[in-house]
Each structure stands twice: as C-alpha cells, then as structure tokens.
Chains A and B, each alone.
Chain A
C-alpha cells in the first residue's frame, strides 16, 4: 500500500514538473512580453527628457528580469527559487506573488464554498425527488432543468443575470466586489456590501454547477431505490419517509460524498470566467489579468498551483480506489 502511495506521489511530482516547464516555455514564447511593454512605456516617458531609447530600456530590463537566459536556464533558476520557497515578485502587481495570492484567494474560496453549500442544498433534494417520482412530469422537468444548466454558457448566463438584476431591476452592481460608498461604511456595512456583490457571481456559479450534481444524485438514488433491501424495507411495512430518509438516502450518501471530495481542491482554484465577468478580485480574475499582461512569475505560480490541485484530487481518487479495490495496488 505504501509503495503504491509513494509511486503515485512521485508520478504527480513528475507531472507537475513537466507541466510547469511547458507553461514556462509557452509563456516565454508570448509575442509581446511584459518586459517589452514596460520598455516601451519607459522609453515613451523618458523621450521628452532625452532619456534612454526603447532598445536601451529593453536591454536593461531584460537584464533585470533575467529574460536573456534561455528557456532551460530560466526554468532552472525559477525552479531553484521555488524549491527554496520563493515564487518571486509579481511583475504586474509589484508585490510578492505569495502575498498577492494570499490577498485574493479568500474571495475565491468564499465564493466557491457558498456555491458548494447552495449546490448541495438544492441538488440533493431535487435529485431525490426526481428519483422518487421517476418518469413523472416533475422528473422530466428536473431532467430538462439540469440539462439546461449544463448547457448554459457561463458568459451568457452572467450577462443575462446582469441584464435582469443589475440593468433592469437595479438591485445589484454590474461589476466589482465593493460598491461606490464602501469607504464610508462601517464594519458591518462593509461586510454586507461585499456580500451583496457576491450574490450574482454565486448565483451564476450555482446555476452552472447544479445540473451535474442533480443528475448524479438522481442516478444514484434510482440505483439504490431498485435495490433489494429497499423492497425488503417496504415489505416490512416501514413508512415511505423512513424508507427514503433512513434506508435509501444514507446509501446514496456514499457516492455523493466521494463525488464532492473531488470538488474540495477545486474550491481553491477559482473560476476564471465568472470572476472575470463580475470583476471579483479572486484568484481567477487576478491570474487572468496577470496572464494577459504577460506577468511570468504570477502566471507560473497560478499554473503550478492549479497543477498541484489537480494532482492532489487525482491522487486522492486513486488512493481511495486503491483502498477500496486491492487489485489496483498490485498493478
């Protein structure tokens, strides 16, 4: 068993290493790098005072940002620093990458946690009800609704929600995490203001994720309801309530919990599109901006973070399987 876990972890490390190298290489290929943009800016700013030209600035900045090294040396340097725990300083935000990450990650976490709670609270009852009344009108309604949620493009849903709730009804702001009068509010007011700005993004994310979990719950519940022990329970003369809540639902919980355990790492990964659309300064939006600006250290950090999260969830899944199914361990 331990041998298996060690093998799995070392594999994850190799994948993280290769993945980060690919991202690094591609980032270095970016046609207009951050450094070029900065050099152009500096050259324009100093043009009137007879300062250095674009080429001179570019040379100096390339030196300062270590852009003259080839991809392999650059990656090796980056990796060396990372192993020492130093992810460098973000070029765009002008502060330590980890510090910036610490500032913004909590927005994403709050957003995702609230979404997850809502999702569970909505999907599980819906799934169970749909399974209980299989092939009824209600069941068809739930199925179509779940399918619709799966089929919604994020940006379209977000735009429609904005159109209805922000433009037409005027209940919420279109963008941002804080309102116009944020600074004048007291502590409680500030918290409420932020919460209010989180409503639409949460609604968007919840609607997008509802479909999958509802269908999953329904499928599993159906499977359980067709099991022999449910028939036995009914034959015993137990009330329908007890049959569903005590016997069927508890057995459905096992696949549901394992399904949701895969979701836990993704709580930290942010949601790039939704955050960007609502300009919530969570990790997704900040990383998107950094990426567009060509901010190498931040993009690298974000990508490696994503890689690590994916690998952790895959590893967890594999190890869980290994625990359950001894055959996996042998291979």
Chain B
C-alpha cells in the first residue's frame, strides 16, 4: 500500500508511523500506477495511439480521397494506321463527266471478259486496256458513215453530228491505210466495218480512267494536279510503259519506278527535284479520325509493304524517330506504333506521390489504409459496445434472478454459442450480396450481426460474477433500502464487474478486428469502394498481385497485427493492474 514515500521538502523529523508520512493512493490510482509500470502495456498504448492517429488524423491530412483513382500517361503500342492492298478499280472522271455506279459495275464485267465495249444506260462505252489493271473508258458516239468506192472515200455525218475537215481527212487516210482506229486531238475514233466497203465512224472520248493504283499528292499545292485527268492519264500510261518521264503543259515530270505498283512522280531536276505524287496500290488510312497522315509517312508504309518488311522507322514532323510495326492479315496491314495514352495508374510502385504505391483500382494504398483503419477500428468499438450492451443485460438479469430465468437464459446462451460462426457469416454475407445492400448500410448490418453473434462470452462473465456478488452484504443493504431491481443490477452489481469487463472488452477488440478482417478477406465484409484492412489484403488472393506487389498487402497485414497486438498488450496490462495476484 505504502509504495510511495515522500520525505523531501520536510525539515521536521517525522516518526515512521506519522500519518503525514504515508501517502495512501486511491484504488484507481493504484491500478493506474501498476498499469504504467508495465512496459508491454505502454508499448500497446503507443501502438494504439499511433493507429488512431494514423487512421483518424491521417485521413484528414492525406491529400487524396479514399476512392480517388489516379491516371498516368504511358506509351502503349496502339493501332495507328491501316493499309489495304487495292484490288478494286479506282476511277477518275474527266471534269464535267460522270460515271454512275451501274456503269462502273458493267465496266468491271467488261474488263474481266476483255470486251472492247459495253453498254450502260443507253450509252455505249469503249474500253481500252492499256495494261493489266489500267483501263481507259470512253463514250463512243456514231459520227458518220464512210463509204469507199475504189479510191473515192466519202464521209457522211449521221444524226446531226458535225465532222470537221480534219477529221474527214484522217478518216479517209485511215480507210485507205486499212487502219481501224486513229486518234485526233486526244479523241480516238474507230471504224467499224459494215456491209460492202462501208464503215461506221465512231468517235470515242476518254471520260474516265479505271486503275488499281492510287495517287497521293505530296503537298496541297499538287493536289489539284494529281486529280487532273490528263496528268493521271499521262503518268500512268508512262508508268505502265516503263518510261521515266512525261510531259504535260510544257512541264517535264520524272517517274521513279520502284516496282510494278509503286512509283514517285517528281518535277524538276537535281537539287530542285520535288516530289509531286506517290503512286501505289496500297491505300493507307489513319485508324482514328482527325489524324493526318503526311505523304512521306504513307510513302514509308507503302515502301515497307512492297519490301515485305515487318517494321520500319519514320522520322516524324518533330524530328523524332518512331518505330512502327506492321501486322498482316490477308490483304490488310495494321500498323502499330507507341502512342501516348492515358491509363489508370495500377500497381504503381511506392514513390513520393504515393508512399505505398497504388492498388488494382489505381487508388492510393496509403490513403486507403488510413480510411480502412477508421472502419476497422470503429467496427471494433461499435461491435464491442453492442456485445457489452446485450451481454450485460442478459448476464445481469440471469445472474441476479437465478432459478428458472437463469437456466432459460443460459441455455439460450449455450444455443447461441454452438451455432457455427463462419457458416452463419457466409450465409449472412450471401444474403447481403443478394439484396445488394449499399456498402455504407452494409457496415452497420455487419456490426449488428457480429455483435449479435459475439455477446455470449460477456453474458457468461457478468452472470458468473453477479452470482457471487449478489450474496454479499451490500446487496442486502440495497434490498433493505428498497432500491428498485433494475437499479440494483445496473448501478450496484454491474459496476463491480466492470474491471473484468474492461479487460475482456479490450481483449475482444483485437479479436473483432481479426474477425472483421477475415470476413472482408473472404469477400463477405466491407465492400468496394469502402475499404478495411482485410479487403486491402484480399487483393493478395490474386497470385499475380501477391508475388509482384508486396507494397499493397504487406502494410495492411502489419497494421492489423500491430493493432491487435496493441489491444492484447493493453488488455493484458489492465488485467494485471486490476488484479495483481493474477499477475501473468
């Protein structure tokens, strides 16, 4: 009792049994002194203080929200462009002329069969095959009849057509020379032999070109030129003929033929040589709208495809060399390149911005640990409070009254105690899942269920203590003074059980945190977007996460262990402090 002696500041000599010399501590103070002398209990208090600060203050200090998702920019190999080897005819019509779709279909048929002419929409078209995959389509028009009698050749126009003298001369020359076709001013004329030395003269003007190749202008200034009918006609004819230059409107264009299907058309000589157009049978298009593919890029693609390469390098407008890879499927080529993309920052390693990295949802692990701690700790306290409430009432009533009330209530406790815990929780979790309980409501329901499943131990303790306490003299006194029964139980009996209850409650706090973590780990407890320490570790049930991202699950586990350890240390210390005889 007289552990503390105080003899400083005293000049008088005090006798050993002087009342002033002995300082008697109150029972509460004694408990406190014994408690703080226990090193483990102090360690436990420190751990718990840290946990509370971490969870409740940490959540305020943390710059992030618990469900804030982080994004990052990263380079991902994505589809950039598509290329197709052209197997369809592409048409270019002369200005002011038209080639309707039905006519195009008829032409395709004629080209396939090798017919020199076909009819569509009441008009006869002539087909001139320049080379494989390049046709000139013209409209033929009967101009007149040519009759030849000996050396006299007469040309008569039909249907109001006008035949110029020049044409007449040429036609006569052709008949005399035995030719079937001749050309004049870019229009070709045919002579079809009729009966007995008479011919039908038909003029055919090219109105369209059908080609398998596509022409792309290198720059906007040449766009018009490239779509010019004559330019196309001349360049492609030259290309098919294997010539390296052609002339149009007094300008000489040179052709660099790379293969049968690819060529570059340029103007000028030497250093002044500028590319005008690229010719290819490959059509290159961007995958995404709004992306402009520069001509030299397209040329690089077509070259790579022509050379059967699977990747090529391209120097972009900023002068950066990009690596592009080509994947082939039948006639389609897909070109991939590394592009800057916005991604959810998943499994980011610990860094200055995220001290413990980010989890599988791209959320900050540290922040989630803080908010998770709030839930885990709150859960522990609320559940213990519920358990105490139910346990004290039932245990108190049972212990005070005894007899059949006691038997009935204790059998009820036995029954409750024997219900297997985890099967019950699994079923409860499945029920909450099925009714799609809101995550916030779910926490309260979980607290309720855990409280209801766990009060029996406290009820037993209370009953056991009250059974012996109620026989003591102070209870006879309460009875004699006529205090009502509820007051006798809860004001006079229960406070005497309190030390024991405090110890038991502290110890079971740790147990509840463990149980809640286990339930959350099994997916029965707290649900996304809320977190508890158990749910955070749950991500480690994925082997990939477990083996590669220790920073997601190990801190949560350490926090659980430390918290439970803290509660156990404190509980142990309290027990020793309350009852020194029982000391460990």
Contacts and interface: CB of A to CB of B under 8 A. Distances in A.
Contact of B517 (A23, A153, A162, A272): A153
Contacts of B415: 15, 18-19, 22
Interface of B is mostly: helix
B369 interface: no
A159 interface: yes
A174 B547 CA distance: 11
B420 interface: yes
Interface in B144-189: none
B584 A222 contact: yes
B568 A26 contact: no
A291 B418 contact: no
A82 B415 CA distance: 20
A61 B435 CA distance: 24
A222 B576 CA distance: 14
A303 B40 CA distance: 40
Contacts of B434: 31-32
Interface string A252-278: 000000000000000000001100000
A27 B419 CA distance: 13
B143 to A, nearest CB: 69
A29 B557 contact: no
Interface in B533-565: 534, 537, 540-541, 543, 546-547, 550, 553-554, 557, 560-561, 564-565
A19 B418 contact: yes
A311 B418 contact: yes
Given A23-B420, A153-B514, A222-B584, A159 B560 contact: no
A176 interface: no
A163 B553 CA distance: 11
B419 A153 contact: no
Given A151-B561, A159-B537, A306 B420 contact: yes
A159 B418 contact: no
B414 A156 contact: no
Contact of B518 (A32, A148, A153, A218): A153
A32 B431 CA distance: 9
A278 to B, nearest CB: 12
A307 B547 CA distance: 39
Contacts of B517: 153, 155-156
Contact of A22 (B419, B514, B565): B419
Contacts of B572: 147
A44 B510 CA distance: 47
Contacts of B423: 23, 287, 291, 299, 302-303
A222 to B, nearest CB: 7
A199 to B, nearest CB: 19
A109 B377 CA distance: 36
A147 B565 contact: yes
B223 to A, nearest CB: 56
Contacts of A144: 40
Interface string B417-449: 111101110110011011100000000000000
A167 interface: yes
B418 A151 contact: no
Interface string A140-166: 100110011011111110011011000
Contact of B569 (A30, A147, A156, A162): A147
A154 B522 CA distance: 11
A302 to B, nearest CB: 7
Given A30-B427, A31-B430, A31-B435, A23 B565 contact: no
Contact of A147 (B433, B435, B546, B568): B568
Interface in A64-91: none
B427 A153 contact: no
A11 B411 contact: yes
A101 interface: no
A27 B427 contact: yes
B510 A162 contact: no
A249 interface: no
B427 A272 contact: no
Interface residues of B, number: 44
B578 interface: no
A310 to B, nearest CB: 5
Interface string A12-29: 001110110011001101
Contacts of A219: 584
A288 interface: yes
A47 interface: no
Interface in B519-538: 521-522, 534, 537
Interface string A27-66: 1011110000000000000000000000000000000000
A303 B419 CA distance: 8
A303 to B, nearest CB: 5
A156 B568 contact: no
Given A147-B568, A151-B565, A307 B560 contact: no
Contacts of B553: 159
A292 interface: yes
B40 to A, nearest CB: 7
A143 B40 contact: yes
B431 to A, nearest CB: 6
B557 A26 contact: no
Given A30-B427, A147-B565, A155-B521, A307 B557 contact: no
A287 B427 CA distance: 13
Contacts of B564: 150-151, 153
Contacts of B433: 31
Contacts of A272: 422
A315 to B, nearest CB: 11
Contacts of A154: 518
- In order of increasing CB-CB distance, the 5 nearest A-B pairs are A31-B434, A151-B564, A156-B557, A151-B565, A167-B547
30 contacts: A11-B414, A15-B414, A15-B418, A19-B415, A22-B419, A29-B427, A30-B430, A31-B430, A31-B433, A32-B434, A140-B39, A140-B40, A147-B565, A147-B572, A148-B561, A148-B565, A151-B510, A151-B561, A151-B565, A153-B537, A155-B517, A159-B557, A163-B547, A273-B422, A292-B430, A302-B420, A302-B423, A306-B420, A310-B417, A311-B418
Given A26-B427, A299-B423, 20 more contacts: A18-B415, A29-B427, A30-B430, A143-B584, A147-B572, A150-B510, A151-B514, A151-B564, A153-B534, A153-B560, A153-B561, A154-B518, A155-B518, A156-B560, A156-B561, A159-B553, A160-B557, A163-B550, A272-B422, A302-B423
Interface of A: 11, 14-16, 18-19, 22-23, 26-27, 29-32, 140, 143-144, 147-148, 150-156, 159-160, 162-163, 167, 174, 218-219, 222, 272-273, 287-288, 291-292, 299, 302-303, 306-307, 310-311, 314
